[in-house]
């Protein structure tokens, strides 16, 4: 799961059910319009569909199932964006993309969806949206490029996500690999900590009393729950004996590992220890990039990750003060079970695929949804090139907010980091919503 970005980053009839479900979500029902050529880690057994994303795919698709076999209309707005149906041939570069690569990535999400819904009751609405499509995909995978493209065209309808203002926005992230140590020394002074046993992640509907109601985690004490210490307090020893160092890094590398949410630590004996996201303290995230932009007077758009790191190294004392102002703190675990040839574990509990896995706002979108992304993104030499690609929502992050906000996973290691650090660019988002809703006990309904 991505903790954040370093730079700025019952059945009372369909209508009644939809209206009830939509309360509290900025999603509005509307009659179908003609196609236009324009424009968290889940725990075992937990559904990957949450929040308004569940409403979008359970309530919206329920209406769609009786409205039209062509588009799951009934949805006009998601967050502050409207959805406009678009035909696949109108997508720039659609036929040129590697749809088999996109399908293989989608299949990983299908495996996670199958595992997360296998122990649920048949009436659970969270299994209505992608389960049927995934069952077909797992049993009959396409063997050719055209067949993979047809799989997406036949099973999904495309909707352009049009924000209220401007375009969507893209950033990049990666799994870093840093030198480190199992013991502190003069170079590797900052610990990456394991998840403490008194950390409680608050579920939907749970919250602390004011003024801490917005916090997403708490500390379990003998008298109840209280706010978890923030970054500065943890660094100053607030956890005491509950602090369990897993590895030690250079202070800047450690902070960047928190931003990325996972890291490979190469120690002097040649071993590589892989650490994965295990939770956060629930305190608010504050962008270091924006703080440095204020400190330096540089426009935030010009302050990419390489420039940020260079500034931090040149200004260590000010940099440390600013880093401590980001109250959010990430905890890790040793991830020995992960395939070393694959990416880190995303919020959807699948290992990420470079260039195909997308981090999205999981309060608005469900994991497993395909997204078509159109953008002009920088090469390593910072010249721009077209980026037209079918990606899959497999991760999230505390700084990934809004319906047209995405974070592209570029892979592991320094080269991936160099590319990811350059990405702060506008982009267009097209979400692929299932054409059919799988009805419990009744197969697929058109």
Residues 88-117: tens digit of each pLDDT: 999 999 999 999 999 999 999 999 988 875
Of residues 253, 235, 252, the one with CA closest to residue 243: 235
- Give the per-residue pLDDT at 69: 36
- Give the per-residue pLDDT at 166: 81
- Give the per-residue pLDDT at 303: 80
Distance CA 5, CA 286 (A): 9
- Give the per-residue pLDDT at 203: 81
Pick from 20-34, 43-57, 357-371: least confident: 20-34
- Give the per-residue pLDDT at 3: 52
Decide if domain 1-171+353-446 falls under CATH 3.40.50.11890: no
Mean pLDDT of 398-403: 88
Find out whether the peptide bond into 211 is cis, omega within 30 degrees of 0.
yes
Q: Name the band, by pLDDT with cuts 50, 70 and 90, for residue 2.
A: low
Q: Which residues have CB under 8 Å from 295's CB, separation 6+?
A: 318, 322
| Mean confidence (pLDDT) of the chain | 80
- Give the per-residue pLDDT at 380: 83
- Give the per-residue pLDDT at 436: 67
- Residue 136, phi-psi category: left (phi > 0), alpha (psi -120 to 50), beta (remainder): alpha
Strands across the sheet with 224-226, in order?
A: 199-201, 217-221, 224-226
Distance CA 23, CA 21 (A): 6
pLDDT at 16 over 90: no
Mean pLDDT of 74-100: 91
HSE-CB of 222 using CA atoms within 13 angstroms: 0
Pick from 37-51, 150-164, 396-410: least confident: 37-51
Between the CA atoms of 62, 67, 69 and 71, what dihedral angle is there, to the nearest 10 degrees? -80
Q: Which residues have CB under 8 Å from 34's CB, separation 6+?
A: 85
- Give the per-residue pLDDT at 141: 95
- Give the per-residue pLDDT at 341: 85
pLDDT at 75 over 90: no
Question: Which pair of structure tokens corresponds to residue 178?
Answer: 């840093």
Q: Which residue has the higher pLDDT, 59 or 230?
A: 230
Q: What is the pTM of this model?
A: 0.72
Q: How many of the other CB atoms lie within 10 Å of CB of 154?
A: 11
Mean pLDDT of 259-273: 92
pLDDT at 129 over 80: no
Tens-digit pLDDT profile for residues 289-334: 899 999 988 887 778 888 899 999 999 999 999 999 999 999 999 9
Contact (Cβ atoms closer than 8 angstroms) between residue 226 and residue 218: yes
- Give the per-residue pLDDT at 125: 30
- Give the per-residue pLDDT at 58: 41
Q: Name the band, by pLDDT with cuts 50, 70 and 90, for residue 186.
A: very high
- Give the per-residue pLDDT at 214: 87
- Give the per-residue pLDDT at 431: 96
Measured in whole angstroms, how far is the alpha carbon of residue 166 from the centre of its chain?
22
Question: Which pair of structure tokens corresponds to residue 314?
Answer: 């040149």
Contact (Cβ atoms closer than 8 angstroms) between residue 38 and residue 86: yes
Residue with tokens 């706002």: 361
Distance CA 5, CA 258 (A): 9
- Give the per-residue pLDDT at 61: 42
Distance CA 318, CA 163 (A): 36
Distance CA 359, CA 249 (A): 26
HSE-CB of 99 using CA atoms within 13 angstroms: 18
User: pLDDT over 90 for what percent of the chain?
Assistant: 58
Map residue 28 onto helix, strand or coil: coil
HSE-CB of 365 using CA atoms within 13 angstroms: 33
Q: Name the band, by pLDDT with cuts 50, 70 and 90, for residue 118.
A: very low
Distance CA 56, CA 365 (A): 8
DSSP strand pairing (199-201 vs 384-395):
unpaired
- Give the per-residue pLDDT at 22: 28
pLDDT at 49 over 80: no
């Amino acid at each position: 799961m991505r903790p954040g970005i370093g730079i700025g980053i019952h059945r009372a009839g369909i209508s009644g059910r939809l209206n009830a479900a939509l309360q509290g979500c900025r999603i509005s029902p509307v009659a179908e319009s003609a196609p236009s050529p324009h424009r968290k880690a889940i725990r075992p057994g937990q559904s990957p569909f949450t929040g308004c994303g569940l409403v979008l795919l359970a309530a919206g698709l329920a209406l769609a199932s009786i409205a039209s076999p062509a588009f799951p209309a009934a949805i006009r707005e998601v967050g502050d964006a409207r959805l406009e149906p678009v035909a696949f041939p109108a997508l720039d570069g659609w036929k040129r993309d590697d749809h088999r690569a996109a399908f293989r990535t989608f299949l990983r999400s299908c495996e996670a969806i199958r595992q997360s819904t296998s122990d649920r009751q048949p009436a659970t609405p969270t299994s209505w949206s992608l389960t049927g499509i995934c069952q077909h995909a797992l049993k009959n995978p396409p063997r050719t490029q055209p067949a993979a493209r047809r799989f997406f065209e036949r099973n999904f309808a495309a909707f352009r996500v049009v924000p209220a203002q401007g375009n969507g926005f893209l950033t990049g992230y990666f799994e870093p690999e840093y030198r480190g140590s199992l013991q502190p020394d003069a170079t590797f002074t900052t610990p990456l900590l394991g998840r403490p046993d008194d950390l409680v992640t608050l579920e939907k509907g749970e919250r602390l009393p004011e003024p801490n109601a917005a916090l997403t985690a708490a500390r379990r004490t003998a008298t109840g729950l209280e706010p978890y210490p923030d970054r500065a307090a943890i660094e100053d020893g607030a956890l005491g004996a509950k602090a369990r160092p897993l590895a030690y890094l250079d202070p800047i590398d450690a902070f960047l590992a928190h931003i990325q949410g996972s890291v490979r630590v190469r120690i002097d004996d040649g071993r590589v220890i892989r650490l994965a996201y295990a939770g956060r303290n629930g305190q608010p995230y504050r962008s270091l990039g924006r703080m440095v932009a204020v400190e330096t007077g540089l426009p935030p758009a010009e302050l990419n990750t390489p420039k940020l790191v260079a500034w931090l190294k040149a200004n260590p004392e000010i940099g440390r003060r600013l880093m401590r102002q980001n109250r959010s703190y990430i905890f890790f675990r040793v991830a020995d079970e992960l395939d070393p040839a694959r990416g880190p574990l995303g919020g959807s509990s699948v290992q990420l695929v470079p260039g195909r896995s997308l981090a999205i706002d999981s309060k608005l979108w469900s994991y497993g949804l395909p997204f078509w992304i159109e953008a002009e993104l920088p090469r390593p030499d910072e010249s721009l090139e077209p980026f037209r690609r079918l990606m899959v929502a497999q991760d999230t992050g505390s700084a990934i907010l809004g319906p047209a906000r995405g974070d592209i996973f570029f892979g592991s290691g320094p080269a991936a980091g160099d590319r990811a650090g350059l990405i702060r660019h506008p982009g267009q988002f097209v979400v692929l919503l299932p054409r059919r809703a799988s009805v419990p006990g009744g197969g697929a309904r058109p």
